[in-house]
Structure 1
Amino acid sequence: MRGANRTEVSMRISWDYYLIDDDVPTVSGKSITKLIKWNKQAIIDDFGKKYLDKIPKYNGFTCVPSHLNYKQVIGKRFNEYHPISHKPKEGSIEKTYNFLSHIFGEQLPQGLDYLQLLLTKPTQYLPILCLVSNERNTGKSTFLKFLKAFFEANATFIESNSFQSQFNSDWAGKLLGLMDETLFNQEEITEKLKYLSTSNIQKLEAKGKDRIEIYLFIKFIICTNNEDNFIKIDEYSERFWVRKIRPLNSTNSEMLEELIQEIPAFMYYLTKRKLSTRKQSRMWFSFEQIKTKAFTKLVQNNKSRVEKELASILYMIMERIELKEINLCPYDAVSLVSKSRIKTSHTEMRKILKRNWKLTNQNNTSWYEKFTIWPDGDIQSKKAKGRYFTITKKFLIENFDDFDDN
């Protein structure tokens, strides 16, 4: 909208009139552009009736994101996506590079790819980035504010309760949904987030307006002090990129302003660098490229007491008898955890093994080694028949961070 000719200060989109106000002040001292619904009679009062014949007329709205080749008008429709005011300019990015090295650590190449894709391929699906830490002065909130300053009106801060509301006009059509100090304690909200992160169509709902279908390309970034259970996910939630953020080495009250000053140079850098990764999935990155210890810890804290106890017992047996895997049926698993006075059922245990652990049992009844733990801690085995599941030591180490194979 910025840079519109003064003869196009007003326009008609469908049957409604609008005013382009490109001088809306903000607390940062920088003006932004807004499209304001206007009144036909007000336009006549301000410019005269003949002016109505001169104003541009569009069939309706569209929302097509672009930062490097932005078009305000596409076909006969007005583009609601906002141009950003920054322009690439060669210069120093020392402070930005150091800050992003702190945020992404050993995954800095993936982090730079993530930001480059936001800038150059805004419709590309990307994982839900979660920055977690229960410590202060980590830079999480500064990172969100930096992205807001970078992408301006195309990034918006979202409250977690927004997902419980039927109205979504505050974030629909945005590039980034930024969430600070967020707690999602409802499984259906997690599922909604996962759905939105890979959906390209969404119904736009606003109070007093009809629902309309729009293209969706929003990416979510979550920052929280709750490292352990801010969201309910399992080990197969490949849409989530969870990073534990350490405190900054020093406090710099001017950091955000310094980062903002380097945005044009950082844009230039992102347009010139070569991506370090190739597209591996619809979320661009492979699960292995973004998996972290923080992700594993979060998943484990979401596991039930029964799961944790069963994993602990199986790992203990493997350690003591020097096994790499154990075969067992759900009834065996129920018997093992009952020694710890944990009540469960055959149905729940089968659900854990099949749905939670994604294991498949034998097609036919077969012989296997069944283990029993006696009250004195002695472990004994005997031959048994059943359609058993196989649990490997490698699986336990990868999915339960309490275990160490060293």
Structure 2
Amino acid sequence: MENHEIPYSRIGWDYYLFDDVPTVYGKNIRTLIKWNKQAIIDDHGKKYLDKIPKYVGFTCVPSHLDYQRVIGNRFNQYHPISHKPKKGSINNTISFINHLFGEQYLLALDYLQILFTMPVQHLPILCLVSNERNTGKSTFLKWLKIIYEENATFIESNSFQSQFNTDWAGKLLGLMDETLFNQEEITEKLKYLSTSNTQKLEAKGKDRVEIYIFIKFIICTNNEYNFIKIDEFSERFWVRKINRLKHQKTEMLEDLKEEIPAFLHFLTQRKLSTRKQSRMWFSFEQIKTKAFTRLVQNNKSRVEKELASILYMIMERLEMEEIQLCPYDAVDLVYRSRIKTSQNEMRRILKRNWKLTNQTNSCWYEKFSLWQDGDIQSKKTKGRYFTVTREFLITNFDDFDDN
């Protein structure tokens, strides 16, 4: 165990100093700082080295209820949090969570409870979005940083473009405020990290080392519609639109901070409202929101939106629940709107984006054509058609939702 009378440790071949670093929140965080062996000798004498605890190397095992500084003969890099659960009032905290999560309030409590009691469990990428000010989004990130201290870190989007990842490796939370992921490969990396168990740790001048990762990402942004590129099948994302606070309190963060011990006690006592449904605990249906659908809709191409609009219009006018078409039919339909595309793009939209399967054999179906005056005509033809339903369009395109 860590000897507080000896503020040093030798881990592997290197020496480290335990230092209590003051923070802006009025608390000191015990931090491990790489130290010079000769400096220790100069300050305490050579025999002092024999008193320093020695460990083979590092490990990183998160725990908030049964924390161990030393596991086997390795030093645990995960930081113990200073808050101790203690029974008390949590009125401000409950009100704040209810404001952010509304009808998904119980899911939010489950998310926070799992984060505290089961830190290695994968959780969805939580995205709090709003183009309004004074919503509490940034306060939520600051509050989590205060709770988890050195185990939570603020990350900028360009961190995912760098080959080095020591700034977030071994962290429980990656917090991102006003972040824009405008490259698809960054989105894919974010999705991969949220469900992976291991990752190669890279630092300048050092060999790559495989480490266990358990980081959860939380994104807050004022850009509701295109801060990240995802599709309707991105089951890892929990997107919530946050409204403006009805009563803005200048001391809100301080009030939340005061209730942290009581809230952690509450999390250890309550019963989860959900059972594990997926590797990220929650099912896609549980966390899917209108904000998610709007985000996906905005990420769709002009061709895709126009095709969906035309198909829905045909179904509405002819009182149909589904329509059959082949890629070349789709090209012809959007061409009437002066949008040029190709059969390959339409096939990609129908198969990859919409996840539809065409007929294995050429079959008869009713082909629809749209004329310049808005008239709809149909004729029987044969082809390996796809079937698009009204329900599919309403579910995946926000413009057609009457609710």
SS of 1:402's equivalent?
helix
Whole-angstrom CA distance in 2 between matches of 1:295 and 1:174:
26
Whole-angstrom CA distance in 2 between matches of 1:150 and 1:34:
16
Q: Which of residues 12, 15, 20 is equivalent to 1:14? A: 12
Whole-angstrom CA distance in 1 between matches of 2:108 and 2:124:
11
Whole-angstrom CA distance in 2 between matches of 1:20 and 1:392:
63
Instruction: Report the TM-score when normalising by structure 1.
Output: 0.98
Q: Which of residues 2, 5, 20 is equivalent to 2:3? A: 5
Whole-angstrom CA distance in 2 between matches of 1:387 and 1:46:
82
Question: Would the aligned equivalents of 2:395 and 2:401 in 1 still touch at CA under 8 Å?
Answer: no
Residues 163-206 of structure 1: per-residue CA shift (max 9 Å, x gap): 11111101010000000001110011000000110111111112
Q: Does 1:334 align with 2:334?
A: no
Shift of 1:405: 5.2
Q: Which amino acid aligns with 2:16?
A: Y
| Equivalent position of 1:288 in the other structure | 285
Q: Which of residues 20, 43, 57 is equivalent to 1:46? A: 43
Q: Which amino acid aligns with 1:302?
A: N
SS of 1:137's equivalent?
coil
Q: Which amino acid aligns with 1:167?
A: F
Question: Would the aligned equivalents of 2:129 and 2:222 in 1 still touch at CA under 8 Å?
Answer: yes
Q: Which runs of 4+ in 1 moved over 4 A?
A: none
Whole-angstrom CA distance in 1 between matches of 2:6 and 2:210:
28
Q: Which of residues 224, 239, 244 is equivalent to 2:236? A: 239
| Equivalent position of 1:175 in the other structure | 172
| Equivalent position of 1:227 in the other structure | 224
Whole-angstrom CA distance in 1 between matches of 2:119 and 2:142:
19
Cα root mean square deviation, aligned: 1.1
Q: Does 1:359 align with 2:350?
A: no
Map residues 92-171 of structure 1 onto 2, 5 A cutoff.
92-171=89-168
Whole-angstrom CA distance in 1 between matches of 2:264 and 2:24:
24
Residues 262-287 of structure 1: per-residue CA shift (max 9 Å, x gap): 00000000000001110000010000
135-144 vs 32-41, greater mean Cα deviation: 32-41
Question: Would the aligned equivalents of 1:93 and 1:262 in 2 still touch at CA under 8 Å?
Answer: yes
Whole-angstrom CA distance in 1 between matches of 2:105 and 2:318:
42
| Equivalent position of 1:403 in the other structure | 400
Residues 363-405 of structure 1: per-residue CA shift (max 9 Å, x gap): 1110111111122211121111000000000000000000035
Question: Would the aligned equivalents of 1:167 and 1:204 in 2 still touch at CA under 8 Å?
Answer: yes
Runs of 5+ consecutive residues of structure 1 not aligned to the other structure? none
Q: Which amino acid aligns with 2:213?
A: L
Residues 76-129 of structure 1: per-residue CA shift (max 9 Å, x gap): 000000000000000000000000000111101110101001100100000000
| Equivalent position of 1:207 in the other structure | 204
Q: Does 1:324 align with 2:321?
A: yes
Runs of 5+ consecutive residues of structure 2 not aligned to the other structure? none
Q: Does 1:79 align with 2:76?
A: yes
Q: Work out the percentage of aligned pairs sharing the same amino acid.
A: 79
Whole-angstrom CA distance in 2 between matches of 1:185 and 1:6:
47
Whole-angstrom CA distance in 1 between matches of 2:384 and 2:326:
7
Question: Would the aligned equivalents of 1:7 and 1:55 in 2 still touch at CA under 8 Å?
Answer: no
| Equivalent position of 1:254 in the other structure | 251
Q: Which amino acid aligns with 1:259?
A: L
Residues 2-57 of structure 1: per-residue CA shift (max 9 Å, x gap): xx433331111111111111x21122221111111112222222222222112111
